[in-house]
Amino acid sequence: MAEFTFWIVVGITLGSAFMVVQSKNLVYSAYALLFSFIGVTGLYVFLWADFIAVVQVVVYVGGILILIIFGIMLTNKITSVNISHASVQKKMGAVAVLGMAFLLGYMVISTPWVTLANVEPAETTAAIGRLLMMDYLLPFEVASLLLLGALIGATTLSRKED
Amino acid sequence: MITGNIITDFSLLILFLPLVAFTINIFFGKRLPRQGDWVSIGAILITLILSLSMLLNMFMNWDPDFSHEAKFIWMDLGAFKIELGFWVDNITIVMLVVVSLISSMTHIFSLEYLKGDIRYSRYYAYLGLFTFSMNGIVLANNLISLYIFWELVGVSSYLLIAHWFEKPSAAAAGKKAFLTNRVGDIGFFIGIMLMFTAIGSFNIQEVFTGVGQGLIGGTLLTFAGIGLFMGAVGKSSQFPLHIWLPDAMEGPTPVSALMHAATMVAAGVYLTVRLFPLFSPDALLVIAYVGGFTALFAASIAITQNDIKKVLAYSTISQLGYMILAVGVGNYIAAFFHLLTHAMFKACLFYGSGSVIHAMHHSLHALDDHDTDPQDMRNMGGFKSKMPITYLTMIIATLAISGVPFFSGFLSKDAILAGSLGFAQHYPQHFLLPVFGFGAAAITAFYMFRLIFMTFHGEAKMPKVFKGIHESPRVMTFPLMLLSGLSIFIFYTLPYLNPLSDHGWFTELIRAGDSVVPGNPTAHEIGEGVHHAHYTAMALSLLVAGLGIGLSYLMYLKKKLSAEVWANKMGFLYKLSYNKYYFDENYDRFLYQPFLKLSRAVAYVDWDLYDKYFINGFGRVTKWLSFHTGRIDYDGLDQSIVDGIGRTAQGFGKQLKQVQTGRLQNYMLFALVGVIIILVIQTI
Amino acid sequence: MDSLTNYLFVSVVLFALGLYGVITRRNGVAVLMGVELILNSANINFLAFARFGGMNMAGHVFALFVIVLAAAEAAVALAIIINIFNNFHTINVDDVSELKQ
């Protein structure tokens, strides 16, 4: 049963991702991205990453995706449909990407992964919180700085020239 | 002095002073005062003094075996050595005196004879060149340098004979002289090379030693000897190469006196005298017959000639034949003796004829007559009253040549005839040789006195011309007097005074050497034979001389016998003699014309066929080749390959240019591809 | 099937798709979407290794940071895109090739 669900989730994820990159209509892409994010969340759950799954939904879906849709809406006036000019790029790109995928896949198969025993924790949140405050304090502070910078930057950029 | 030996020093000076005079006169003659004749005369007089001092030295030493050789190596190529040097012995010294004396006389005589000539300085320069070359022959100690000077003498002869080359006959005569000489020289050179191949040296003394050792023998030696003799045949104008000497009379008379009487033609005799020891008996026989036949043959032509110089020319050929005959029968010292006396009286005769011709020229010029031939004896007659000195000196010389006692010619001719008679007594099958000799003597006496009678006696054939005849100036008569004086017996019989004797300083000092060829009689044996026949020969020669003179006297002076009647009676023979036996015409028809035809044919092949088709063919092929190579190079290589590379690069550039799209996503794609490639390579 | 390689495969495919979107799409926002997909695939990787590596929490922390950074970057990117749109009146990545208008 779990396996079946797993594969469904995978299917949603990948299918939506495919729609994202392939759709001619930008809004459709955005919606497909939404489903993709949700699928990824499901995968996180399967991976026992409860906190991250929640963060994913909140931040990605609720924040980034909304942002993207805003962006689409705001810039929709003179967006042109993909002309066949990129078809060369498309074919070549597909080939290259496929090649990349094969390479990576081959790497995945051939690497002798060392898996340790499964330990299901009670919850991850506390552990993450502890780690953030202790071992990964510096990255945490830097990240906050980064967010600050991004905030200021975004604001500045979208200010009207007076 | 220079070389430390006085003989060598004198020889060097004698040899090179005339050459210096030649160089100065050739380059600067025209600009010098009096056109530089004093340069040449000064040089030749110094040479004469040096030669006379050597002669004096010879008398003082009185050494019959005197022989001095000085040599230096010119080219040393290991197995092949060419050296130059001098060989001076008594024969050399006498010959040097002869050459210097006659040459000086010519220089002095020419002062008047060639006064005002258009090429005066060049004439004197060439005289210097000739003297240098002749002395070179005399002093040579090896066959190569002798050959070189031999050729030089030929060149000088050519230059001097053709002195008035505006006259086509003179230019042709010069050419003929040189070319005929060359024919003889081919044989000469073959002879030299035969000797060298067998013996390995050019030095005459070494050749003698080699022949004596038997390094070359039998037929080869005879052939070599005949080859060497061919040079003498050419140079001394013997049969069959005698054709050039009569034509050479086109040159100025002093030149004729110097070269074609006394010295150059004598070079052939000198050569045979020098090389006598290496002639084999067969070669000597050939020499004797050639000489004897020539003597008679030339004399038979001289009796009908009307040009005064032509008579003397044939006379010279005849006398040279005498000398060659003497060498052939072994009495080569007699040949040299006759060379000496002949030089004196023949030169005197030529100068005399020059004097007569000079007087005729002046007389004709005064009468403005340019048609009469000043050299034709039929236009002369009775000159003895107008030109006494010339007449007297010529009489003396004629007496000498005819072999009349109390004169030098008698002594030398007598020796030759005795030699031929002695030879015939020893080998009776060769009786023809004395016949040749005595017959020629008779005829010589006849035609020489004919000359005298026609020119100086009798009625003047052209009275108007005769009026203008006068004696020549002192400059011209001085040589005449000197040389005629030297034709008197006394100078040759010293210290004895017997005019009929065959002893004197000459025979004492100039001793005959033995032949080194086995089978030849020794000098002693030859001398015995000569001595044995001496008195017979003397009687016979007096007889024939008297016959000749008598006949001539009757025919031309007393006119008791008519020359015309005799000529008509012997019409055919007369015609043969008068036309020189048609030698020139026959040579032309049977030698020259076929050869010219052959040359023309060869020239046609070369010019019209070979050049036109073969050589031009090369040109055409080359042109064709170069055109096509050019095409290949230009159109093929340049356009396709060289430009092609350019075009390929351009094409590549155009294609690769498309990589630079300026679009970010393209670059990302390329980066991705790159990464893939790297990864692939890493995994493999 | 809960094996590591399954998750890795998913991650690989997602990554490939995201890459395809980045290099192929002409619209700037679409490129941004591709980037988000790539980031997500990386996150899956991190968490998979975390789980199958004895529940190593470092993976979770990293995934968290990735999400944070993704958010910041998306914000800034969109700001830029809007600016571009205001200036060029197009967000076709091919056409915005000049620095100065």
pLDDT class of C65 with cuts at 50, 70, 90: very high
Q: Tell me whether B669 touches chain C (CB under 8 Å).
A: yes
What the block records as the tokens of B57 is: 């030295």
Check: CB of residue B294 under 8 Å from CB of residue B242: yes
User: Are A154 and C91 within 8 A, CB to CB?
Assistant: no
* C74: contact with B, CB 8 A cutoff: no
Report the distance separating Cα A17 and Cα B674, nearest Å.
25
Domain-located, residue B70: no
- Identify the domain boundary among B578, B598, B622: B578
A98 and chain B in contact, CB less than 8 A: no
- Containing domain of residue B540, as a range? 280-578
At residue A77, the pLDDT reads: 63
Q: Is residue B646 part of a domain?
A: yes
**Is residue B167 situated within a structural domain?**
no
Cβ count within 10 A of residue A125? 15
Residue A128 domain boundaries: 123-162
Q: Which residues contact B74 (CB under 8 A, 6 or more apart)?
A: B82, B83, B84
The verdict on C87 touching B (C-beta cutoff 8 Å) is no
Cβ distance A96 to B676 less than 8 Å, yes or no, reads: yes
Domain boundary among B543, B578, B613: B578
Q: In the block, which residue shows the tokens 């390929």?
A: B648
Closest by Cβ to B668, choosing from C23, C26, C97:
C23
Q: Kindly give, in sequence order, each residue whose CB lies less than 8 Å from that of residue B494, ignoring residues fewer than 6 positions away.
A: B504, B505
Query: What are the C-alpha distances in Å from B351 to residues B318, B515, B594, B649?
Result: 19, 38, 40, 98
- Judging contacts by C-beta atoms under 8 Å, the chain C residues touching residue A147 are 68, 71-72
Is A17–C32 a contact, with Cβ atoms under 8 angstroms apart?
no
Residue B523 three-state SS? helix
Of residues B511 and B113, the one with the higher pLDDT is: B113
* Number of domains comprising chain B: 2
Identify whether residues A71 and A141 lie together within a single domain.
Answer: no
The amino acid occupying position A120 is E
Q: Domain boundary at B578, B608, B628, which?
A: B578
User: Does residue C101 have a pLDDT over 60?
Assistant: no
Q: Which residues of C touch B669 (CB under 8 A)?
A: 23
Per-residue pLDDT reduced to its tens digit, B423-473: 888 788 778 888 888 888 888 988 888 888 888 887 777 777 777 777 888
pLDDT, residue B402, reads 87
Which residue pairs, CB below 8 angstroms and at least 24 apart, start in B196-200? B196/B143, B198/B224, B200/B79
Q: Does the residue A30 lie in any domain?
A: yes
Burial of B75 by CB count in 10 Å (0-12 exposed, 13-18 middle, 19+ buried)?
exposed
Cα(C79)–Cα(B643) distance, rounded to whole angstroms? 54
Residue B632 lies in a domain: yes
Across-strand partners of B488? B407
In B, which residues are within 8 Å of A89 by CB distance?
A: 665-666, 669
Domain check: are B409 and B482 in the same one?
yes
Looking at this protein, which amino acid is placed at residue A66? Answer: I
User: What is the token pair recorded at A147?
Assistant: 């967010």
Q: Give A56 to chain C, closest Cα distance, Å.
A: 7
Pick from B399, B388, B318: nearest CA to B355: B388
Contact C33 A20 (CB under 8 A): yes
Buried b (16+ CB within 10 A) or exposed e, B635-654: eeeeeeeeeeeeeeeeeeee
Please tell me if residue B665 touches chain C, with a CB cutoff of 8 Å.
yes
Complex-level ipTM: 0.89
What average pLDDT does the segment B233-239 reach? 87
Q: Which residues of B touch C31 (CB under 8 A)?
A: 665
Banded model confidence at residue B3, pLDDT cuts 50, 70, 90: low
Is residue A107 in a domain?
Answer: no
Which residues in B lie closer than 8 A to residue A93 (C-beta atoms)? Answer: 669
Of A86, A96, A106, the CB nearest to B673: A96
B620 and B502 belong to one structural domain = no
Helices (H) and strands (E) in chain C — how many of each?
Answer: 3, 0
Partners of A127 on chain C (C-beta within 8 Å) are: 57, 60
Considering the domain boundaries, does residue B99 fall inside one?
no
Q: What is the pLDDT of residues A42-79, one digit of tens each?
A: 999 998 888 999 999 999 999 999 999 988 888 876 55
Supply the Cα-derived Rg of chain C in whole angstroms: 17
What are the C-alpha distances in Å from B6 to residues B54, B474, B556?
Answer: 10, 36, 54
Asked whether residue A29 is domain-assigned, the answer is yes
C99 touching chain B per CB within 8 A: no
C57/chain B closest Cα distance in angstroms: 31
Pick the CATH number of C4-88 from 1.10.287.3510, 1.20.1110.10, 1.10.8.60, 1.20.1070.10: 1.10.287.3510
pLDDT digits (tens, 9 = 90+) for B81-99: 777 888 888 888 888 998 9
Query: Would A133 be classed as within a structural domain?
Result: yes
- Which chain A residue has its CA at the smallest distance from B666's CA? A89
Domain identity same for B368 and B437: yes
Q: Any chain B CB within 8 A of the CB of C96?
A: no
Is B676's Cβ below 8 Å from some Cβ in C? no
Q: Are residues B542 and B600 in the same domain?
A: no
Report the C-alpha gap between A69 and A29 in whole angstroms. Answer: 10
Sign of the C-alpha dihedral computed for residues B108, B110, B115 and B120 taken in this order: negative
Cβ contacts of B676 on chain A, cutoff 8 Å: 96, 99-100, 103
CATH number at residue A52: 1.20.120.1200
Is the pLDDT at A140 greater than 90, yes or no?
A: yes
Query: Which chains neighbour A (Cβ–Cβ under 8 Å, 3 or more pairs)?
Result: B, C
pLDDT tens sequence across B132-152: 999 999 998 888 889 999 999
Query: What is the helix (H) or strand (E) element at residue B538, kind and residue range?
Result: helix B523-552
Spell out which residues of chain B touch residue A99, defining contact as CB-CB under 8 Å: 673, 676
**Angle CA A85–A91–A96, to nearest 5:** 130
Write down the mean pLDDT value for chain B: 84
